[in-house]
Structures are given as structure tokens and as C-alpha cells.
Amino acid sequence: MSAVAPKIRVTTTEVVDVTPMIKRFRFAAADGSPLPPFSGGAHVIVEMRDGETLRRNPYSLMSPPGQTSSYTISVRRDDAGRGGSLFMHRQVRPGTELTINQPVNLFPIDWRARKHLLIAGGIGITPFLAQIDQLAAEGAPFELHYAVRSREQGAYVDDLERRYGPRVHVHCDDRGERVPVDALLAEQPLGTQLYVCGPSGMMEWVLATARAAGWPEQSLHHERFLAPASGKPYTVSLAVSKRTIRVTEHQSMLDAIEAAGVQAPYMCRGGACGECETRVLSCDGTILHNDVFLTPQEKASGEKIMPCVSRFEGRSLVLQR
Ligand code: FES
């Protein structure tokens, strides 16, 4: 999917405080028609018109995948972020109309698995909610380990335990509990697929532990959307569009390109999918690669950039856009 794919106008039908930091939003199509079906692990980009600023944030769909009358997402408030989650928390009420993109799944279930081992941290639980619904409906064996700061701050803990019983294991930081990753990985049957979603540090730890234990790369699945970093303002020139664009301190390069009226492809807006990859024609300065898509060699070559999360410092940057 790209930026030119048809978008969906939705109405907010419900806003629920899940924890002091997390709200749940339900959306239905503004024209009353069914929403597109999706699979567990999919996300949508939510567009928010905040005065002169158009914000676009990715959120995992957490409602049952078969349900096309509405979608639900959960948003954790990030007081130090660029404003998207604050907008959702402060401005979006029942009745608020928003635009979303068609669902895209960069974190699908691998149905060949003999067993699914799911490890979530904090708000990283959201893609698993839709996945578990699908796994349970299909009778597929799964085991969820969910790391939270405390039971009170853990979204959907009670609901998950009530619905899925012993297949759900909650690990509370405030009780000194950690996901026993080494032991867990050692006891899985051959053919188990591992899925992880949560804070970067936790994901890197789980994936590194799995690789060190000899798990093959094709058995490891993770979803890692990065928030675009803020930084010093700079200018970028677009050779095809013949535009020179100022990127402000809290704007991503992709946001700035779009704000200038230039269409650019995207799918995750979080440095993970590769859709926004753009060729660098010349660079007098340093590209600050913040994505997790390009290889270290590609980053070192300076020939490509992911404008959704990466920035630039220096005299001039010219892109093939
Ligand atoms: S839009 Fe996915 S990496 Fe940039």
C-alpha cells in the first residue's frame, strides 16, 4: 500500500480509559459501510488534523480480525512525544471524525507453526490481542508472556487471564518478575514460532537470546515501529520534484515532504517496512539513520535513506524524489 491507496473516513464511536496512560478508541466507517477485513498483527495509520499540522501515527488493530463493523486501537500517552498520542488523548471524543489508511500487516502469524510463543511488553500487547483472538478461534497452540510495570498499569491483564487462562503469563516489574526467556526458549517444541513486541530494549534482549540459542531467523517475528526522532532543523532538496524543503525540529522528513505537497510512499511510518526508501543523490553531511530496515552496510554506504524516521545534519542533502 502507498500514500495514494484509498483512505477511510471513520467516526470515533467509543473512548475508554484503560489505564491512567492508555485509552482505547473504537472507530466505525463514517458512511456506515463495513471496514476492510484484516489479519492479526495488522496496523492502520491514523491521520490527525491538529491545527496546521497533519499528524500520522501507526497503531495496531486490536479488535477481533473478523469484525468489520468497527476497529479498535489502544494509544499510550507519550508526554515527550511529537504530539500524536497527546492529540488522541486530549482531542478525540466520541463523534470525532478521523481518516485512517487501509490496514497493513507487517507482523502476521506464521500458520505453519506447531506452536506460537508470544512475548509482549507494555503497550506492545496490542497486536497480540488480535492475533490471540485468531489463534484461539483456529485452535492453534499458543502461550503469551506479558511483561508489565504492575498489574494496575498493565492493559487488558484481567481480560486476557479470564479469556485464555493458563495460556497467559503476566510478569510484573514491581514484583521483581521477569519473562524467563532462556528457560522458555529451551522448553519449546521444534517448529515453535517466536513473536515479540514491546520496548526496543526488551525486543533486542529476547531476539538476541533466541539467536544465541540457535533459533533460526525465519522463526523470529517482531514488530518495532520507531517514533521519528526530533533534532536540529535542516533542509533537504528533492531532485525530481524540484523542491527544497525545510524540516523542523519536531517534524519527520516524510512529514515535511508531504506538507510541501509532494507525494511519498509509506506503510509503517516507523522505520520498519522499507516502503519509504529513497535514493540519496548527494550528501554533504551526515545522515542520521534511525530505521531498523536498512542493513549496517546500506547505512554506511549513504546511498539510501528512510525519510519516515531518519534525519540529516550538514550542508546539503539531495534525494531522488
Ligand atoms: S514508511 Fe516504513 S520504513 Fe518508512
Check pLDDT > 90 for residue 15: yes
Q: How far is the CA of 2 from the centre of ligand 1 (A)?
A: 10
**Percent of the chain residues past pLDDT 70, beyond the cut:** 98
Q: Is 257 in the pocket of ligand 1 (CB under 6 A)?
A: no
C-alpha cell at 180: 524467563
Check pLDDT > 50 for residue 309: yes
Q: Is 81 in the pocket of ligand 1 (CB under 6 A)?
A: no
Distance (Å, rounded) from C-alpha 76 to C-alpha 94?
18
Check pLDDT > 60 for residue 4: no
Contact between residue 109 and residue 41 where contact means Cβ atoms under 8 Å apart = yes
* Cα-to-chain-centroid distance, residue 61: 10
Average pLDDT score over residue span 292-302: 95
Q: Is 133 in the pocket of ligand 1 (CB under 6 A)?
A: no
Average pLDDT score over residue span 250-259: 93
Check pLDDT > 70 for residue 183: yes
Question: Which of 275, 278, 289 maximizes ligand 1 atoms within 8 Å of its Cβ, making it the mutation to test the pocket?
Answer: 275
Axis crossing angle, helix 157-164 with helix 126-138, rounded to the nearest 10: 10
Q: Is 275 in the pocket of ligand 1 (CB under 6 A)?
A: yes
Query: 3-state class of 203 per DSSP?
Result: helix
**Confidence category of residue 5, pLDDT binned at 50, 70, 90:** low
**CA distances, 285 to each of 15, 247, 318 (Å):** 45, 15, 11
Q: What is the pLDDT of residues 45-73, one digit of tens each?
A: 999 998 888 899 999 999 999 899 999 99
Q: Is 109 in the pocket of ligand 1 (CB under 6 A)?
A: no
